[in-house]
Amino acid sequence: MNKSLRHIVSVLILFSASFVVAQSDFEDDAALWLNFYFEKKITDNIDAHVEFKNRFNNNVSDYGLGALFGGFSYSVNKYIKAEAEYGWGKSRNLNGTYGNRHRGNFSLTFKKKFGPLAISYRNMLQVRMRDIYTSENGIVPVYMNRNKLTLKYEINKRITAYVYEEVYLPFYQVRNKGLSRSRSAAGVEYNLTKKITLEGYFLLQHELNAFNKTNRDFIYGLTYAHKF
């Protein structure tokens, strides 16, 4: 078991480092993400949720994104969960105006626990559209395949630490060759009560563009989650 875990952690570290080694020309930014998540259990297998996302970028000086998401999840069993959600929001453009953003997410998550340790893999199909009525390409959807591997460790009943690696693979996007984005994160979840959780994390995001400088976002995030 310990040997297998060492292999998994080694793969995560090497996988993340490969992007840093491959790109030496960066444009860096600092960002703050503030999220509010609410979940309601409908049945033993079905949950409904809404989430309000706020993102501040340009060294935390601009309000870059405000979005509201809603969806449902279905637990097939204790190992597999399916989820579908839709999100609408406003995102800041380069000229300072804000445009409409639409996104649909459809995912399957596989999870296995080994005592205090939990390993999960999520595969998500993401569909994005922006400025549908005001942009020439607004009605053209962008399809993305997102793959996320997470390791969680329950320190005690209140505190859980985690790390994860996520990569984005576009189905078709001319400006990218292969992967278009990677995310490496570490964080802590703190259970205030049985229903309320506070989460803090640091996330390093690489925008992998084949023809321009690679953007690196150093993101600090806070999430308030309430389950009913």
User: Residue 176 above 60 pLDDT?
Assistant: no
- Higher pLDDT: 215 or 23? It is 215
181, 172 in Cβ contact below 8 A?
no
In Å, how far from its chain's centre is CA 11? 20
Domain residue extents for the chain? 2-227
| Residue in this structure with the two tokens 């993101």, named with its chain if needed | 219
* pLDDT score at 210: 54
- Model confidence at 27: pLDDT above 80: yes
Q: What is the pLDDT of residue 22?
A: 46
Rounded average pLDDT over 167-187: 82
pLDDT in tens, 33-83: 999 999 999 999 999 999 999 999 999 999 999 999 999 999 999 999 999
Q: In this structure, what are the phi and psi dihedrals at residue 136, rounded to the nearest 5 degrees?
A: -60, -35
Q: Give pTM, 2 decimals.
A: 0.84
Looking at residue 103, its pLDDT comes to 96
Domain 2-227 annotated CATH 2.40.160: yes
What local confidence, expressed as pLDDT, does residue 95 receive? 86
